[in-house]
């Protein structure tokens, strides 16, 4: 037990430590409050549940890097349990009691504390070795990625301080318990590890053991008091900010549904994000929540093919800039420089495929993709600076209603098929939204024709909009041209609300995403179904019967906007299996699917310089499965892989849409 003087000293030390820490915390929240909008605090029970769920289960961490994640989870669970341990130690310091007593509860408490102490220590040794001895590739950045000038040295120092703090705190507490065990008979069944170490103190007398236990009590708790003022500046802050980030994130219609801009606000001069203070509150929060683990970088197709883009570097750079100018920013001052000077380069901004892999994999709920697309909005709408090739796509959407800039009929693809338009179709089950690719791009037109064949075979009553259909504007939105997207979306919504279709059937996941998940922002609420889902329905209900002929080995590529953005994984595989295909998965499948390289308006511009093309990297992965066919459910993926196959000398699997495979089974000549 502490002496009266020590008790007073401890209270004073706690007060000083908390006072120093709250200053940094207050500044951090003042910086976050500078951001646009507000943090989301509606539906509190769901938010509390979400934050507790990810923190206690560690399930977002455990999705990747199995060994590292398991050890991280031990450290996290250990730290959570150590809140109770620290409380118990303080109580034992102030009162002559044994925390939780020596009954079953007390025994279990000592056992769990003992086991977690060892697991946390083992985890921290692993993490320090991984960073400082092995210099693990996962913790590095390749050349060309822009890093804030303080990042490299700052990350190492921060990791060292945090690592040494945890080793000191948990190590001292564990050793203190071994002294306690030595003082109380030399062995405690419920502290097996501390008992093992207690054997080392056999030569020490009672007084020496008491002094040792006392000193280690101070070292364990003193380490916390010394660390607390630094805590809000360290990456260890993710311990609180990670769960709080999940707690305060907006509930999005889907992983990548972007927020609209308010063009009705005449006072507004800034559209999109150029500086830190233009970011939304949740985007600023991301910088504080970031663990700096680089998992998003590991999943990023642009980074993995050697481009300048690293989503983790973006978050880390934001954090270091905020940290450097915290007082200025908290006091409301203008940030010293634009994001493009320290956070991300323009080529990196334009290398993003908007695939959402970084958002999906982040263990603390960060959304770097949204920052990048908001920076594009600034570049397009405010600065007027964007890749020249995009000008053609924008002009095409504005003047011809499609990014291909194609004049002529939107129904040319259907020549000879006698496809009905809504005007003369009578009652329909589905409106087939053909999309610009299906309407104008020769390879994608085959998908549209294949689908018509399937619909006819199943006796589905359908129609198309024909010339009344317009581009959904997906490309404009992902490219940062929100105003053009707004115009296209509102025009389509006017048409669709007039037609009022029971369901909309699409063959393009980008149409699916914008129509179903983003048009509601402008008053368009529709039931939208992807053709792979619809075909699965037709097979399931018995309306579509497939001859079980021609088994092929097929690998399915999950398009980002079908899978990760809209959670559709089962239907395409079910359809392919029903068609007799033997499925073999690529190493990166379903939510971990690797982009084809077309999304985020990449299809309309030259790919940034790197070590490989994204489509080639993915096609090589498909080749590795030994499949005869690379199947997909997106006209843009199809086009990218068809090109990649050509680059590979037409030597790999044939590239087909699921609809084409089914139509072939039905005997269609496409």
Site for ligand SF4, rule CB under 6 A: 290-296, 299-302, 309, 311-312, 315, 352-358, 361-364, 366, 368-369, 372
Nearer to ligand SF4, 299 or 581 (CB): 299
Give the relative orientation of helices 658-665 and 570-578 as an angle to the nearest 10 degrees. 20
Phi, psi of 556 (to 5 degrees): -105, 130
Question: Which single residue is written with the structure tokens 């499965």?
Answer: 625
How far apart are CB 366 and ligand SF4 at their closest, in Å?
Answer: 4
CB 523 within 8 A of CB 260: no
Q: What is the DSSP string of 591-649?
A: GGPPP-S-TTTGGGSPPPSSSS-HHHHHHHHHHHTT-SEEEES-HHHHHHHHHHHHHTT
Among residues 192, 205, 225, 332, which one has the least CA distance to residue 276? 332
Nearer to ligand SF4, 173 or 295 (CB): 295
From the CA atom positions of the chain, what is the Rg in Å?
Answer: 29
Nearer to ligand SF4, 278 or 307 (CB): 307
How far apart are CB 80 and ligand SF4 at their closest, in Å?
Answer: 19
How far apart are CB 307 and ligand SF4 at their closest, in Å?
Answer: 8
How far apart are CB 263 and ligand SF4 at their closest, in Å?
Answer: 25
Give the relative orientation of helices 311-324 and 151-183 as an angle to the nearest 10 degrees. 80
How far apart are CB 354 and ligand SF4 at their closest, in Å?
Answer: 5
Q: Determine the 3-state secondary structure of 341 from DSSP.
A: helix
How far apart are CB 310 and ligand SF4 at their closest, in Å?
Answer: 8
Nearer to ligand SF4, 273 or 428 (CB): 273
Rounded Cα–Cα distance for residues 456 and 530 (Å): 17
CB 166 within 8 A of CB 330: no
Nearer to ligand SF4, 389 or 415 (CB): 389
Nearer to ligand SF4, 608 or 643 (CB): 608
End-to-end CA distance of the chain: 85
Nearer to ligand SF4, 390 or 535 (CB): 390
Nearer to ligand SF4, 291 or 428 (CB): 291
β-pairing verdict for 528-530 and 582-583: unpaired
How far apart are CB 317 and ligand SF4 at their closest, in Å?
Answer: 11
Nearer to ligand SF4, 120 or 258 (CB): 258
Nearer to ligand SF4, 24 or 353 (CB): 353
Determine the Cα angle at 62 with ends 59 and 68, to 5°.
150
How far apart are CB 369 and ligand SF4 at their closest, in Å?
Answer: 4
Question: Which single residue is written with the structure tokens 């991300």?
Answer: 344
Nearer to ligand SF4, 32 or 221 (CB): 32
How far apart are CB 425 and ligand SF4 at their closest, in Å?
Answer: 39
Q: Determine the 3-state secondary structure of 505 from DSSP.
A: strand
Rounded Cα–Cα distance for residues 44 and 88 (Å): 31
How far apart are CB 361 and ligand SF4 at their closest, in Å?
Answer: 6
| Token digits of residue 215 | 């000193």
How far apart are CB 475 and ligand SF4 at their closest, in Å?
Answer: 15
Nearer to ligand SF4, 225 or 372 (CB): 372
Residues in Cβ contact with 380 at an 8 Å cutoff, skipping those fewer than 6 apart: 272, 386, 479, 480, 481, 482
Helix-strand-coil split of the chain, %, nearest 5: 60, 5, 35
Which alpha helices (H) appear in 422-568, and where do they start and end?
435-440, 442-458, 474-478, 482-499, 509-513, 531-540
How far apart are CB 130 and ligand SF4 at their closest, in Å?
Answer: 15
Nearer to ligand SF4, 76 or 354 (CB): 354
Q: Which long-range contacts (CB under 8 A, 24 or more apart) does 128-131 make?
A: 128/159, 128/160, 128/163, 128/167, 130/68, 131/156, 131/159, 131/163
Rounded Cα–Cα distance for residues 632 and 371 (Å): 29
Nearer to ligand SF4, 303 or 641 (CB): 303
How far apart are CB 398 and ligand SF4 at their closest, in Å?
Answer: 26
CB 256 within 8 A of CB 354: yes
How far apart are CB 623 and ligand SF4 at their closest, in Å?
Answer: 22
328 alpha carbon, distance to own chain's centre: 30
Nearer to ligand SF4, 39 or 571 (CB): 39
Give the relative orientation of helices 281-289 and 311-324 as an angle to the nearest 10 degrees. 90
Strand partners, 280: 36
Nearer to ligand SF4, 362 or 505 (CB): 362
How far apart are CB 611 and ligand SF4 at their closest, in Å?
Answer: 15
Dihedral Cα 378, 359, 642, 435, nearest 10 deg: -60
How far apart are CB 618 and ligand SF4 at their closest, in Å?
Answer: 13
Residues in Cβ contact with 390 at an 8 Å cutoff, skipping those fewer than 6 apart: 479, 481, 601, 604, 605
Residues in Cβ contact with 312 at an 8 Å cutoff, skipping those fewer than 6 apart: 290, 292, 293, 294, 295, 296, 297, 358, 368
């Amino acid at each position: 037990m502490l002496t009266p003087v020590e008790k007073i000293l401890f209270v004073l030390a706690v007060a000083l430590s908390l006072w120093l820490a709250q200053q940094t915390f207050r500044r951090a929240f003042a910086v976050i409050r500078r951001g646009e909008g507000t943090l989301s605090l509606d539906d509190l029970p769901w938010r509390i549940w979400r934050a507790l769920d990810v923190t206690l289960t560690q399930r977002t961490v455990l999705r990747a890097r199995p060994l590292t994640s398991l050890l991280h989870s031990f450290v996290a669970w250990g730290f959570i349990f150590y809140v109770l341990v620290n409380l118990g130690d303080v109580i034992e310091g102030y009162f002559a009691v044994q925390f939780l007593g020596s009954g079953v509860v007390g025994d279990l408490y000592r056992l769990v504390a003992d086991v977690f102490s060892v697991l946390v220590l083992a985890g921290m040794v692993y993490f320090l070795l991984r960073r400082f001895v092995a210099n693990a590739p996962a913790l590095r950045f390749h050349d060309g990625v822009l890093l804030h000038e303080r990042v490299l040295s700052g990350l190492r120092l921060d990791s060292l301080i945090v690592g040494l703090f945890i080793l000191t705190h948990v190590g001292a507490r564990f050793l203190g318990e071994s002294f306690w065990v030595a003082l109380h008979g030399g062995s405690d069944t419920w502290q097996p590890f501390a008992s093992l170490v207690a054997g080392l103190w056999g030569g020490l007398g009672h007084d020496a053991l008491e002094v040792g236990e006392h000193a280690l009590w101070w070292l364990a708790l003193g380490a916390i008091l010394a660390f607390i003022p630094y805590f809000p500046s360290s990456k260890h802050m993710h311990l609180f900010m990670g769960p709080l980030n999940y707690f305060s994130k907006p509930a999005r219609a889907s992983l990548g549904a972007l927020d609209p801009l308010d063009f009705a606000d005449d006072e507004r001069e800034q559209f999109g994000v150029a500086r830190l203070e233009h970011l939304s509150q949740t985007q600023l929060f991301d910088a504080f929540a970031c663990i700096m683990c680089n998992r998003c970088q590991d999943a990023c197709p642009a980074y993995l093919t050697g481009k300048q883009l690293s989503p983790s570097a973006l978050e880390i750079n934001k954090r270091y800039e905020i940290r450097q100018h915290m007082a200025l920013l908290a006091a409301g001052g203008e940030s010293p420089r634009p994001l493009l000077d320290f956070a991300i380069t323009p080529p990196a901004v334009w290398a993003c495929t908007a695939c959402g892999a970084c958002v999906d994999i982040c263990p603390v709920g960060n959304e770097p993709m949204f920052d990048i697309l908001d920076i594009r909005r600034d570049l397009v709408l405010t600065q007027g600076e964007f890749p020249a090739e995009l000008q053609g796509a924008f002009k095409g959407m504005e003047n011809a209603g499609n990014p291909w800039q194609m004049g002529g009929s939107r129904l040319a693809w259907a020549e000879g098929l006698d496809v009905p338009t809504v005007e003369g179709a009578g009652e329909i089950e589905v409106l087939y939204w053909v999309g610009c690719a299906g309407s104008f791009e020769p390879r994608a037109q085959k998908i549209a024709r294949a689908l018509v064949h399937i619909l006819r075979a199943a006796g589905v009553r359908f129609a198309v909009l024909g010339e009344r259909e317009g581009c959904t504007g997906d490309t404009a939105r992902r490219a940062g041209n929100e105003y053009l997207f707004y115009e296209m979306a509102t025009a389509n919504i006017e048409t669709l609300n007039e037609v009022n279709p029971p369901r909309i059937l699409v063959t393009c996941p980008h149409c699916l995403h914008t129509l179903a998940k983003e048009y509601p922002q402008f008053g368009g609420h529709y039931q939208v179904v992807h053709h792979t889902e619809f075909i699965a329905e037709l097979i399931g209900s018995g309306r579509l019967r497939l001859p079980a002929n021609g088994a092929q080995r097929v690998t399915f590529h999950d398009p980002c906007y079908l899978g990760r953005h809209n959670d559709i994984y089962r239907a395409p595989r079910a359809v392919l299996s029903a068609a007799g295909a033997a499925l073999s998965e690529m190493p990166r499948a379903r939510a971990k699917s690797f982009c084809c390289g077309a999304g985020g308006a990449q299809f309309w511009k030259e790919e940034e310089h790197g070590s490989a093309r994204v489509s080639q990297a993915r096609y090589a992965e498909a080749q590795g499965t030994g499949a005869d066919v690379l199947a997909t459910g997106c006209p843009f993926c199809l086009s990218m892989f068809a090109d990649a196959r050509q680059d590979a000398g037409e030597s790999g699997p044939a590239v087909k849409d699921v609809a084409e495979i089914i139509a072939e089974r039905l005997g269609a000549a496409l």
